[in-house]
Amino acid sequence: MVTVDFLSAFSRLPKLIVFDLDFTLWPLWCDTHVYPPFIQKNNTVYDSSERRVDVYSDAQVILRMIKESSKIKLGCASRTSAISVARQLLQALNWSDLFDYTEIYPGSKTAHFKRFHELSGIDYADMLFFDDETRNIHDISKLGVQCHLVEHGITLNLLKDALKKFQQQGRIHEYLN
């Protein structure tokens, strides 16, 4: 089992880690692949058609580990138009309370990140972002957020690589200043 000790290997950590939802934390679009209401049976979530709702295998471990660290805030950003479905799914998965900041609405992810910055006071350079869409990575990186493309769902290896890069980027910044 991965624990908070995983994070102690890094001398510099982001203050806020933000995850997209669809095809980043779960392998579906919540506006077309699942139908509320959701029910939980034996630690498994099902939609109204009794279809099991899966998440990527490392997603829960990653979210809980980050939340337990108490050093890092968690956010989710989704451009879905199925706002209530996304929120209901987060609730059914028992993930709602894990996120310190939740921005779920259509439009540019830039608006989501401006809101994160406004609410948290955290500089963009102290944020880390995971998303499966190149356009979102492109837009958010312009703000100074370190972004990582998620091609097959979030994994511990991807998180580890991103944290290494974040740490190295901080060392370069310190050297230049």
Render pLDDT for 6-25 as a digit per residue (tens, 0 to 9).
Answer: 888 888 999 999 999 999 99
130: containing domain: 12-176
User: What does the alpha-carbon distance between residue 55 and residue 45 come to, in Å, rounded to a whole number?
Assistant: 10
Model pLDDT for residues 119-140, shown as the tens digit of each residue: 999 999 999 999 999 999 999 9
> Residue 69: its pLDDT value, please?
87
> Residue 4: its pLDDT value, please?
59
Q: How far is CA 3 from CA 45, 121, 130, in A?
A: 24, 27, 20
AA letter at 38:
F
Determine, yes or no, domain membership for 2. no
Determine, yes or no, domain membership for 3. no
> Residue 14: its pLDDT value, please?
97
Determine, yes or no, domain membership for 116. yes
Number of domains in the chain: 1
Determine, yes or no, domain membership for 5. no
- The token pair at 126 is 């102290």
Q: Answer yes or no: 161 catalytic.
A: no
Q: What is the CATH number of the domain that holds 125?
A: 3.40.50.1000
Determine, yes or no, domain membership for 7. no
Percent of the chain with pLDDT over 90: 84
Determine, yes or no, domain membership for 6. no
Mean pLDDT of the chain: 93
List the catalytic residue out of 20, 58, 131, 132.
Answer: 20
Which pTM does this prediction carry?
0.93
Q: Answer yes or no: 22 catalytic.
A: yes
List the catalytic residue out of 5, 22, 97, 100.
Answer: 22
